[in-house]
Amino acid sequence: MGALKNYKVCFPEHKIFVMCDHNWAFAAWELSKVYDFIEPNATLVHVDAHLDDLPDGILVNGLGSIKNKQDVYNVTENLQIANFIWAGFATDSIDNIIYVTPKTNETQSHDPFDLSDSKFNDWELELSELLSSKKYQGKRLQTIEDLVYEKVNGRISQYLNNKPVILDLDLDYFNTSQYFEPELMDDEKIRKNLISLRDLYDWDLITVALSPLFCGGDDACWHIYEIFLEVFNLDLTKTELW
């Protein structure tokens, strides 16, 4: 990976955390909870080319004993880009989840909320215990347009009303290639989708994964990122490292 490998900045006034690898969204959620930026058990709106719904994130060492920033970082470093959501679910950072992920040949029939036929092997007991204390629920949508439609028509209000809500965006959503090539949506569509996300809800927290590999490289990723910065009216000179 190139120059974006260790990229992590935040825009404190906007409560927006940006990171290269998506597992660091977990760290942003946890830190926001530790420092009272956001209440626990938030609804997560996960906009991504991938579901990132592997449950083995609940097994990471130290997950149940986070007390400070270093603990958060230690756990996050042992997470992967496909299992951080379940880690956040286990720590009560997030509760309901709205997945906004296009269906591909691999995920066409996959329902992230149907665990009835799954075999979880060595983490089956831990998962069973977790699900006995809280319900893993939400909705699977395919596009940002679907998300807007569901919001306007009140079909996801039960997940938004009277709860903190996190927008979790992966910029690879805007790359239509499944093979690490840069086949980006045209700028007009990217901008329109980002405006829709910006105006959809008064987000309590926003986490943004750059995911340059899945965007088709650093240049393609930065191009999308620049449109994001423009739409959300963000100034890179006013960032802080985290």
Q: What local confidence, expressed as pLDDT, does residue 105 receive?
A: 65
Mean pLDDT, rounded, for 96-107: 86
Q: What local confidence, expressed as pLDDT, does residue 23 receive?
A: 98
Q: What local confidence, expressed as pLDDT, does residue 121 receive?
A: 63
Q: What local confidence, expressed as pLDDT, does residue 119 receive?
A: 58
- Rounded to an integer, what distance in angstroms lies between the CA atom of residue 168 and that of residue 162? 19
Mean pLDDT, the chain, rounded, equals 94
Q: What local confidence, expressed as pLDDT, does residue 1 receive?
A: 45
- Give the pairing type, strands 8-11 and 240-241: antiparallel
List all residues 6 or more positions away from 150 whose beta carbon is below 8 Å from its beta carbon: 139, 141, 156
Residue 236 CB-density burial (10 A; 0-12 exposed, 13-18 middle, 19+ buried): exposed
Q: Which residue has the higher pLDDT, 173 or 119?
A: 173
H or E segment to which residue 141 belongs: strand 138-141
Q: What local confidence, expressed as pLDDT, does residue 178 receive?
A: 81
Q: Which residue has the higher pLDDT, 114 or 57?
A: 57
Residue 113 region by backbone torsions, left for phi larger than 0, else alpha for psi between -120 and 50, else beta: alpha
- Token pair, residue 138, equals 């939400």
What proportion of the chain, given as a percentage, has pLDDT over 90? 86
List all residues 6 or more positions away from 1 whose beta carbon is below 8 Å from its beta carbon: 20, 212, 213, 218
Q: What is the pLDDT of residues 144-203, one digit of tens each?
A: 999 999 999 999 999 999 999 999 999 999 999 988 999 999 999 999 999 999 999 999
Burial 97-134 (b: 16+ CB within 10 A, else e): bbbbbeeeeebeeeebeeeeeeeeeebeebbeebeeee
- Token pair, residue 66, equals 């986070």
Residue 219 CB-density burial (10 A; 0-12 exposed, 13-18 middle, 19+ buried): exposed
DSSP state at residue 186:
P
Q: What is the pLDDT of residues 194-236, one digit of tens each?
A: 999 999 999 999 999 999 999 999 999 999 999 999 999 999 9
Domains detected in the chain: 8-241 (3.40.800)
Q: What is the pLDDT of residues 125-160, one digit of tens each?
A: 888 899 999 999 999 999 999 999 999 999 999 999
- Rounded to an integer, what distance in angstroms lies between the CA atom of residue 84 and that of residue 75? 10
